[in-house]
Structure 1
Amino acid sequence: MINIVLFGKPGAGKGTQAEFLKDKYNLVHLSTGDIFRFNIKNDTELGRLAKTFMDKGDLVPDAVTIQMLQSEVDKNPQAAGFLFDGFPRTIAQAEALDAFLASKEEEITATVALEANDEILIQRLLERGKTSGRPDDQDEEKIRNRYDEYNQKTAPLMDYYKSQGKFHTVNGIGTILEVNERLNQVFDNL
């Protein structure tokens, strides 16, 4: 089983690239953002709770996120592997994911970070906000808050996975196809 964590700041292209990667490598794509948005749209208890944090540009607390993700993994017992998009975002989440996967005699195969300049990403998100209707993509201050959260809480995960020999970086700037080709080079060598 292949279990990949796809990293990158909001707007780096994780969701776009995950669509290609899940098909090519037969992985189940688990995007915490998409799962939260589904729950918000359907006004579930988890959705209402997640919305209170997301509206401020804050991360949803670990306990809520971990429980939700475990449920999604359990729904796919026959999966060839998982592509985790937007999770883990903290060391505590990474440790919880490792423990959860170990309980299933699995582990993270690799982590891949899409890297891009903040100013380019902010412009991407503001453009996406015009068509997506997502309020968190329409306010530059909220976007910058999300980046601050990422830098404080998520960036330390790079060292966590580097120490395990499971961390790879990919330049996230270029056409969708160019970035996809770079990702395929990493995936094909796992």
Structure 2
Amino acid sequence: MKLHAKSGGKSRSFAVVFIIGAPGAGKGTLSAYLAQKYNLVHYSVGDGLRAWVRLNRSTELAAKIQSKLDNQGFLTSEDLNPFIYREILDAIDRHEPEVKGILDTVPLTPGDDGKISLVIKPDLVFSFQITKQNARARYLRRGRDTNDSVDKFERRFTEYELETLPVEQEYRKRGILISIDVNGTKDENIEALTESLSQCEIWQKAIGG
């Protein structure tokens, strides 16, 4: 899907890339690398959700989203659609005319019909693959949240396994899912990602580099 945003009265086209992976997979780190190397917008859906909730605390939707964020829950397309399209366009439009959009982790689960019905249709989806042991070690080592703990990791990882598998299956059926092994060091993972991109026709078509 190509998003169109206007800047200076001119229409611009953007590719959209989704990043999915377990807690501790390094989604933020690798997304930031891709954004810098390929001149992309690094938009974090999680950060965007929190900012939106702060501005809309009195709404029922904000309360629902905040509850899921507090409990590291996954969000359905229905949860995300009310604002995600506008938020992404606004994020892209704040940047230079030549950039394209990239999303950090997209914490969603299929709806009751088993489908992902986001108004945003990705051109490409990266699935960062990591073992539970390595993910746990990274998650606890980074200490991003004072509430991070083994129990919290176990809950998040279990939710990830239950909710993300059908998401991956749907994007794989669409022919746009690329799996990347991220069990190595940061440099090794960047090298593996770069090598995969150099051979990925979908990436070349969507991003052009």
Question: What's the TM-score, normalizing by structure 2?
Answer: 0.72
- How many Å separate the matches in 2 of 1:27 and 1:4? 10
1:57 match = 72
- The structure 1 segments of at least 4 consecutive aligned residues displaced by more than 6 Å after TM superposition are none
- How many Å separate the matches in 2 of 1:79 and 1:50? 33
1:31 match = 44
- How many Å separate the matches in 1 of 2:167 and 2:124? 12
- How many Å separate the matches in 1 of 2:98 and 2:83? 17
Q: Rate the CA distance shift 1:10–1:144 in 2: closer, same or farther, 3 A.
A: same
- How many Å separate the matches in 1 of 2:15 and 2:41? 10
Match of 2:181 among 164, 168, 171: 171
How far apart are 1:69 and its partner, in Å? 2.0
Query: How many pairs does the alignment contain?
Result: 178
Relative to its length, the structure with more helix (as a share) is: 1
Q: Rate the CA distance shift 1:166–1:61 in 2: closer, same or farther, 3 A.
A: closer
1:104 match = none
How far apart are 1:70 and its partner, in Å? 1.5
The structure whose Rg is larger is 2
> Which consecutive residues of structure 1, in runs of 5 or more, have no partner in the other structure?
102-106
User: What is the correspondence of 1:130-169 to structure 2 with a 5 Å cutoff?
Assistant: 132-135=144-147, 138-169=148-179
How far apart are 1:72 and its partner, in Å? 1.6
Q: Does 1:18 align with 2:37?
A: no
* Percent identity of equivalent pairs: 24
2:117 match = 96
Question: What's the TM-score, normalizing by structure 1?
Answer: 0.79
How far apart are 1:38 and its partner, in Å? 4.4
Q: Secondary structure at the match of 1:151?
A: helix
- How many Å separate the matches in 1 of 2:142 and 2:50? 16
